[in-house]
Structure 1
Amino acid sequence: MIVLDGGMSRELIALGAPFEQPEWSALSLIEAPHFVRQVHDRFVAAGADVITTNAYALVPFHLGEERFRRDGRRLADLAGRLTREAADAAGHKVHVAASVPPLFGSYEPDKFDPAGARELWPDVIDPQAPHADLFLAETISCIDESLTALELCAKHGKPVWLSCTLDDAVPVLRSGETIGDWLTQVNAHPKAAAVEAVLFNCSQPEVMETAVRQAAGLAGNRDIGVYANAFIQKTDETAANEGISDIRRELTPDLYADFARAWKAAGAGIIGGCCGIGAEHIARLKAVL
């Protein structure tokens, strides 16, 4: 069992780090990167086997076009270096996952632009490569987005993990495309051999077990992973990170671990947490899984 870290943003807020819109978690990286390192250290201490770079907000959606073009590559390199330093300082083996985030807003499949992604994503992906053990294309909302991310990440010769976000009511991608169609197209891609794991993230815990069972028949020898969020279920169609969403207070570390046991029984071999899942949740996962 591989245990991932949890969500960066809420941990930054809890530490009192700079955090506001539009920069989101990137503001701490810009103004006070020592807070980012502290969050990585907290997850390492909790027992995470993989920690993810704080690159999720290093996109024009958060930084703005001008600052992204001016500072994006430098900030992506910094995000990678901070994570690598935390991993190397750990008392146990810790791998670094380079976050490959949605460029045009989370939960926004209709806004995905393959040509724009091929132009912009390398400024996030390439500077992280020297620091990373693998690439984690996360919160993917549609099939085209996952295939484009695979194409760009595979160029570096490192394992690629593809992670889709699901509709909170039924286990389909936010685009409405099915898990079966997604994995069929991933398997047919020329770079399919680079995909080491397929995951589901930033969705309600309740939808994940069915998703894992659906993926099991098409994942082949790849690992299947889950890192759910703690959001109160969204009832509108706004992007997930346009504001700070409310958190389910009842989703304690013990309750989250109960969900994780079911995911493991369904076939998940990689489990962690997304938005609102903190270091205490990860410590509980490490203890029970």
Structure 2
Amino acid sequence: MTTNALSELLSQRDWLLTDGATGTTLFNMGLVSGDAPELWNVEHPDRIRALYQGPVDAGSDLFLTNSFGGTASRLKLHNAQDRVGELNRAAAELGREIADASGRKVVVAGSMGPTGEIMEPMGPLSYDSAVEMFHEQAEALKDGGADVLWVETISAPDEYKAAARAAELAEMPWCGTMSFDTAGRTMMGFTSADLAKMVETLPNPPLAYGANCGVGASDLLRTVLGFQASGSERPIIAKGNAGIPKYVDGHIHYDGTPDLMADYAVLARDSGATIIGGCCGTTTEHLVRMREALETRPRGETPTLDKITQALGGFSSPSDGTDGEGPARRERKGRRRKG
């Protein structure tokens, strides 16, 4: 594959800062829960320009387009399944406009979130249908000027593979993250070790892979350490939530301060991540401090789990899923015999 903007940056730098939370930012701009953010690409383009401008001004090297729910299956919930091309193209075009005006190399990453349907055999979505939906979205993001496709928040391995195939059909470089939000595993039971192994078996492997969202920043870094432990040499992505979600005055609020996310960014780098950003709750204020910390704090040794929890808070589960202690395991009353 020919060189692209992300490959070039990865060859020049030992870390890149990506963006923060699309949803959090849009809700702060007035998006109502249940509405399709992608419709804003044509209804409120200035708000989407502002969404993209925030991370660029904060020093991000890469930002995601407002197209997370841009597949036909997700847009069907808003009777917009026939507008996949229009909405994704607009998302990328607005991103291209902001990146090109920045005066430096900024990568426009075409966000592709899960289809929202369950893959066969547990659900109705076939692999071929998933490939078709992702491919339609990928071509529109490509037409709009995205530098790379950015598959995120995936929980099923077959859906990840379908997105990889779609990127191949669109002849686009891609990155892909899964969300490890169920005791260190994805909702479908996949572990960090499983993903590290799977990406190397794909006919069209990602430029970088990793984790996004999940529970808190501590859990995400434990997952990053799992990727690192697998011996992976492919660039790793860490896009953790800004602290832990709490329900305050009828809204979900993330308690991670800019200082906490600065600590998280440095710990992510020291844990082996190359592309570092934030997910839910992460604002431009967080990103500014994250950039500053990455630029000014020296690289340290790989952090221990204790160091991570001291800096960022405790884990949501005792296991990261890679030790065979699956998420369903519970302490039983009475002691079990060993051996």
Q: Name the TM-score, length of structure 2 as normaliser.
A: 0.74
1:246 to 233, 246, 252: 252
Do the aligned partners of 1:134 and 1:160 also contact (CA within 8 Å) in 2? yes
Q: Percent identity?
A: 29
1:74 to 81, 86, 89: 86
Matches of 2:290 and 2:169 in 1, distance apart? 33
Whether 1:83 and 2:95 are equivalent positions in the alignment is: yes
Whether 1:145 and 2:159 are equivalent positions in the alignment is: yes
- The amino acid of 1:12's aligned partner reads L
Task: State the Cα distance separating 1:245 from its structure 2 match.
Answer: 6.1
Counterpart position of 2:270: 265
2:242 to 230, 252, 271: 230
Whether 1:276 and 2:281 are equivalent positions in the alignment is: yes
- Report the 3-state secondary structure (helix = DSSP H, G, I; strand = E; otherwise coil) of the residue aligned with 1:64: helix
Counterpart position of 1:201: 212
Counterpart position of 1:23: 35
Matches of 1:110 and 1:56 in 2, distance apart? 23
Matches of 2:124 and 2:213 in 1, distance apart? 18
Whether 1:32 and 2:44 are equivalent positions in the alignment is: yes
Counterpart position of 1:162: 176
- Report the 3-state secondary structure (helix = DSSP H, G, I; strand = E; otherwise coil) of the residue aligned with 1:271: strand
1:177 to 170, 173, 190: 190
Matches of 2:264 and 2:122 in 1, distance apart? 31
Q: Deviations over 1:254-276 (max 9, x none)?
A: 11111222111111111111121
Matches of 2:77 and 2:221 in 1, distance apart? 38
Q: Deviations over 1:63-99 (max 9, x none)?
A: 3267333211101100010011110011321011111
Structure with greater helix percent: 1
Q: Deviations over 1:200-259 (max 9, x none)?
A: 101221112221111124463311111112374599xxxxxxxx96122x3111111112
Task: State the Cα distance separating 1:161 from its structure 2 match.
Answer: 0.7
Whether 1:104 and 2:116 are equivalent positions in the alignment is: yes
Matches of 1:215 and 1:110 in 2, distance apart? 27
Matches of 2:103 and 2:179 in 1, distance apart? 32
Task: State the Cα distance separating 1:30 from its structure 2 match.
Answer: 3.8
Q: Name the TM-score, length of structure 1 as normaliser.
A: 0.86
Counterpart position of 1:63: 75
- Report the 3-state secondary structure (helix = DSSP H, G, I; strand = E; otherwise coil) of the residue aligned with 2:80: helix
Do the aligned partners of 2:245 and 2:252 also contact (CA within 8 Å) in 1? no
Deviates more, 1:272-281 or 1:26-35: 26-35
Q: Deviations over 1:31-67 (max 9, x none)?
A: 2121001110111000010011100122345432673
Matches of 2:123 and 2:196 in 1, distance apart? 21
Cα distance change of structure 1 residues 105 and 260 upon mapping to structure 2, 3 Å threshold: farther
Matches of 1:75 and 1:158 in 2, distance apart? 19
Matches of 2:280 and 2:168 in 1, distance apart? 27
- The amino acid of 1:247's aligned partner reads H
Counterpart position of 2:306: none
Do the aligned partners of 1:112 and 1:145 also contact (CA within 8 Å) in 2? no
Do the aligned partners of 2:134 and 2:162 also contact (CA within 8 Å) in 1? no
Gaps of 5+ in 1: 236-243
Counterpart position of 1:241: none
Counterpart position of 2:53: 41
Matches of 1:220 and 1:163 in 2, distance apart? 15
Matches of 1:34 and 1:21 in 2, distance apart? 20
Do the aligned partners of 1:100 and 1:138 also contact (CA within 8 Å) in 2? yes
- The amino acid of 2:270's aligned partner reads A
Counterpart position of 1:239: none
Whether 1:125 and 2:148 are equivalent positions in the alignment is: no
1:10 to 21, 24, 34: 24
- Report the 3-state secondary structure (helix = DSSP H, G, I; strand = E; otherwise coil) of the residue aligned with 2:105: coil
Matches of 1:234 and 1:176 in 2, distance apart? 25
Task: State the Cα distance separating 1:176 from its structure 2 match.
Answer: 1.3
- The amino acid of 1:276's aligned partner reads G
Cα distance change of structure 1 residues 146 and 84 upon mapping to structure 2, 3 Å threshold: same
- Report the 3-state secondary structure (helix = DSSP H, G, I; strand = E; otherwise coil) of the residue aligned with 1:246: strand
Matches of 2:147 and 2:225 in 1, distance apart? 27
- Report the 3-state secondary structure (helix = DSSP H, G, I; strand = E; otherwise coil) of the residue aligned with 2:210: strand
Matched positions, count = 273
Report which of the two structures shows the higher radius of gyration computed on alpha carbons. 2
Task: State the Cα distance separating 1:191 from its structure 2 match.
Answer: 1.8
Do the aligned partners of 1:161 and 1:196 also contact (CA within 8 Å) in 2? yes
Task: State the Cα distance separating 1:112 from its structure 2 match.
Answer: 7.5
